[in-house]
Chains A and B, each alone.
Chain A
Amino acid sequence: MKLDIPPTRMQLLYLKRRGKVARRGHKLLKDKQDELMRRILEFVYRIRELRLRIEDELRSAFGYFYFASSKQAPKATDEALLAVSKSIDIEHSAERILNLKIPKFSKKISGRLIGYGFLSTSGDLDLALLKIDQLISRLLELAELEKTLELLANEIEKTRRRVNALEYILIPSIDETIKFINLKLSEMERGDLTRLMRVKEIVRSKL
């Protein structure tokens, strides 16, 4: 599609400059897209492994937990869980991947996990709680990775749209307009030349 620009020499120079910038931008964005793609592939495999592993572990922990709570009085389970004096503090910082800010978490744990007696609870409860406790750092990692993946995916989508807009819309229309102005200018030059020749002829015939 031709841009709506007057066919003058000034505009031609301006368009040529714009075309150069657009091409450079296109190359940069394309590189960015490739890099994002490479990163996302790395994350995909890590997330897949991690998620499957967490799922397995969580299932076994839940298994122990249900087993325990069916063996003991429901109140005993509640009491045991209330007696957990642990607390977890999450600190978060941001890391950069290209122009993206991705979160990083670190945890600080204080307090004791098992604060209940042995009498009213079954051993399975201890197992379940210990398992879940060990899981938490992996869950945090999963949170980090999944968020990163989401952000990367968004950015890839955005970048791809930009790359396509440049590649298929802006650059072709600039090229077409440059061609159009070139043709128009040389047509005007030819017109000038013939007019000049004609005038010269008329002037000469009157002498």
Chain B
Amino acid sequence: MSGSAMAIVGKRETVMPFLATGAKVVYVKAGECAVTVEDLIKDGVKIIFFTEEFIDELSDVLAKYRTETLPCLIPIPSGRGKTKVAIERIRGVIKKAVGADIFLEER
């Protein structure tokens, strides 16, 4: 499969529809996400989308690549209800940089 520059990581039932995009889709279970993502990065994958539920597991990996231009590690909603983790993450980043919470309230 081509599309080696982009991968989508998540639970099987969540990320399966992404096969339609032609990107690489990797199924993971809880607890093995960090290792999988590290492997993907080593294989040269530049953009990795992962579902929000893995954001805590990946916090070390996220911190490691925070200052690098590539790879991009981006959380996407898992489609099941609203988890606000991804928005909270950006909010945190901005708060730290600007010193004020300018990401404004939700809709």
A and B: bona fide binding partners:
yes
Tell me if A58 and B22 are in contact (CB < 8 A).
Answer: no
| B5, CB-defined interface residue at 8 Å | yes
B-binding segment of A3-11, A141-149, A186-194 = A141-149
A residues 58-88 in Cβ contact with B at 8 Å: 58-59, 61-63, 65, 77, 81-82, 84, 86-88
B residues 28-64 in Cβ contact with A at 8 Å: 46-47, 49
Tell me if A142 and B94 are in contact (CB < 8 A).
Answer: no
Which A residues have a C-beta under 8 Å from some C-beta of B? 37, 40-41, 44, 47-48, 51-52, 54-55, 58-59, 61-63, 65, 77, 81-82, 84, 86-92, 94, 101-103, 105, 109, 111, 113, 128-130, 132-133, 135-136, 139-140, 142-144, 146-147, 149-154, 156-157
Tell me if A92 and B5 are in contact (CB < 8 A).
Answer: yes
Number of chain B residues close to chain A: CB under 8 A: 40
9 residue pairs bridging A and B, Cβ less than 8 Å apart: A44-B103, A63-B79, A92-B46, A128-B17, A129-B17, A132-B20, A135-B21, A144-B72, A157-B97
A153 vs B102: C-alpha distance in the bound complex, in angstroms?
A: 13
Tell me if A62 and B79 are in contact (CB < 8 A).
Answer: yes
Tell me if A147 and B93 are in contact (CB < 8 A).
Answer: no
- Residues on B with beta carbons closer than 8 Å to the beta carbon of A113: 20
Tell me if B20 and A87 are in contact (CB < 8 A).
Answer: no
Tell me if A88 and B23 are in contact (CB < 8 A).
Answer: yes
A135 vs B18: C-alpha distance in the bound complex, in angstroms?
A: 10
- Pick the most buried of A55, A140, A142: most chain B CB atoms within 10 A of its CB: A55
Given contacts A153-B96, A153-B97, contact A54 B16 (CB under 8 A): no
- Residues on B with beta carbons closer than 8 Å to the beta carbon of A88: 2-3, 6, 21-23
| Nearest A residue (CB) for B24 | A88
**Top-5 shortest CB links A-B:** A62-B79, A153-B97, A90-B5, A86-B22, A129-B20
